[in-house]
Structure formats: C-alpha cells, structure tokens
Structure 1
Amino acid sequence: MRERIFKSSNFHQPNVGEPIRSVVSESEDSAVIAWYVQPGQRISAHLHPVGQDTWLIQSGMGDYQFDASGSTKPIQAGDVVIAHRGEVHGVLNTGNEPLIFVSVVSPAAAGYELKTA
C-alpha cells in the first residue's frame, strides 16, 4: 500500500544558501513539496506554465511576489496562497523566524519557468 500520511516536519530542511525543496510525495496528479525558508532567504519569482501551485503556510511570514513587476503582499502562518496556471509567484522571508510551508503543485508535470527582472 502506498504511504498516505506524512509528517511535514520530517521534510523541512534549513539551509544557509538557497532554500531547499524537499519532495514529500509525487504522483502524476501532484507534487507535494516542503519548504523551509530562513529569514532573508528568497524563493525566486517563477511560474508553472501548465499547472497550479498552492502554498499552505505553517509558520513565519514573508512578502509574496504575485506578478512579474515585483508587486508583493504579506503572507503569514495560517494563509493559503494560490498561484493559478501561468501566474508569477515567489517569496522573501521578511520575518525573524523560518517561513515554513507546504506547496502542492498540480499536476506534477506543471513545468517551471524562472522569471527575472
């Protein structure tokens, strides 16, 4: 039987350089990713050309980039943040504690395009 229950805390990995993308589970339908973003770290602006990325913020806070021009909105623990197909998104941890969240990309083959200014 395929594993269906996971402890997200087992996947969150702090890193000094860039945040680490830790795959919790992946199937044809979706990829579930655990993120641990240290204060001052950033997940660069990107988009998924053929899918959606949903973030479930577990702790911390940050400035969520929601368009290619760099516009941001604050996010924090308890928020659910959705980037629909083709929508630019990224985040900068502006807090004093780690920004910890789980991302669900659907479908798993949603693609990834980095967006630079």
Structure 2
Amino acid sequence: MSSQRVFKSSDHMQVSDGEPIRSVVQESEHSVIVAWHVEPGQTIAAHTHPEGQDTWIILSGHGDYQIDEQGNTVVVTSGDVVVAKRGQVHGVTCTSKEPLRFISVVAPIEAGYVRLPPRSRVDT
C-alpha cells in the first residue's frame, strides 16, 4: 500500500476527444478518488451509486448538473461541493468555454454504478 498522502490533481486530468476519462487518483478499501476533465460540450452520463455517495469538488469551469431521472439540472461552478447521496441521480454536461475539472470521491468502495438509460425524446 502506498504511503503517499498528497496528490496533484493536474497530474491526473486526462483530455479526451470522446467521452471524459475517469482517472483514478487513489483507491483504498474505503473509497475511490477520481479526477475528471470534461471538455466543453462533453457529458458524463446520468447514473447512480446504489450503495454509496459521490461527492464532487469543482475546481474549474461550470456545467449543468443533472439531479433527477427527468433531466432537470442545476448549474455547478468552480468552488462548489456537490453531493449525490446513495441512489441519487447525477451526471453533468460542461457548458463553459473552458473545461470542467473536478475531483470525485465515491464511498464506500462498494458503492456500485448504474448508468441510466438515455431519456426518450417525445416529439409533439
């Protein structure tokens, strides 16, 4: 087990032309810490952690943070701490001109991950 206790988030941010990359900073028997770099227009799909909590610390940029299965969102921006408790829907789309960068802490390690199916579009 590593004794390192201080990590530079910038060392873990990975740019991607496709979907954002989940870059693990540190994993233990208790939690996983992930660095996210989300380019403008990119989305982290709506999902839940059925057995745990996902806490995000927004470092830069801003985005539309999905808060329910209906697709309702709130704006998150640098300096925000965002908490999705056990089973709560969450996902984000970067709406800023610069990347949305944040750290995610998922606990416990057995939190699980369930991606929501894409929402049906109803044409009127």
RMSD: 0.7
1:15 corresponds to: 16
Tell me which residue corresponds to 1:67.
68
Report the TM-score when normalising by structure 2: 0.93
Measured in 1, the distance between the counterparts of 2:15 and 2:35 equals 11
> How far apart, in 1, do the equivalents of 2:73 and 2:91 lie?
9
SS at match of 1:20: coil
Report the CA distance between 1:109 and its aligned residue: 1.5
1:68 Cα shift? 0.6
The one-letter amino acid paired with 1:9 is S
**Structure 2 equivalent of residue 58 of structure 1:** 59
Alignment of 1:33-52 (within 5 A): 33-52=34-53
- Cα distance, 1:57 vs structure 2: 0.1
Structure 1 residue 98, shift from structure 2 partner: 0.2
Structure 2 distance, partners of 1:64, 1:98, is 14
**Aligned-residue offset at 1:23:** 0.1
Deviation of residue 2 (structure 1)? 1.5
Give 1:98's aligned residue.
99
Identity %: 57
**Aligned positions, number:** 117
Partner-residue secondary structure (3-state), 2:40: coil
Q: Does structure 1 residue 32 correspond to structure 2 residue 43? A: no
> Counterpart of 1:98 in structure 2: which amino acid?
P
In our comparison, the structure showing a higher alpha carbon Rg is 2
1:26 shift after superposition: 0.3
Deviation at 1:3, TM superposition (A): 1.1
| CA distance in structure 2 between the aligned counterparts of 1:83 and 1:27, rounded to whole angstroms | 20
Q: Which runs of 4+ in 1 moved over 4 A?
A: none
TM-score, length-scaled by structure 1: 0.98
CA distance in 2, matches of 1:19, 1:108: 21
What are the Cα deviations for residues 1-43 of structure 1, in whole angstroms up to 9, with x where unaligned?
A: 6211100100001100000000000011110000000000000
**Using the alignment, how far apart are the partners of 1:71 and 1:94 within structure 2?**
15
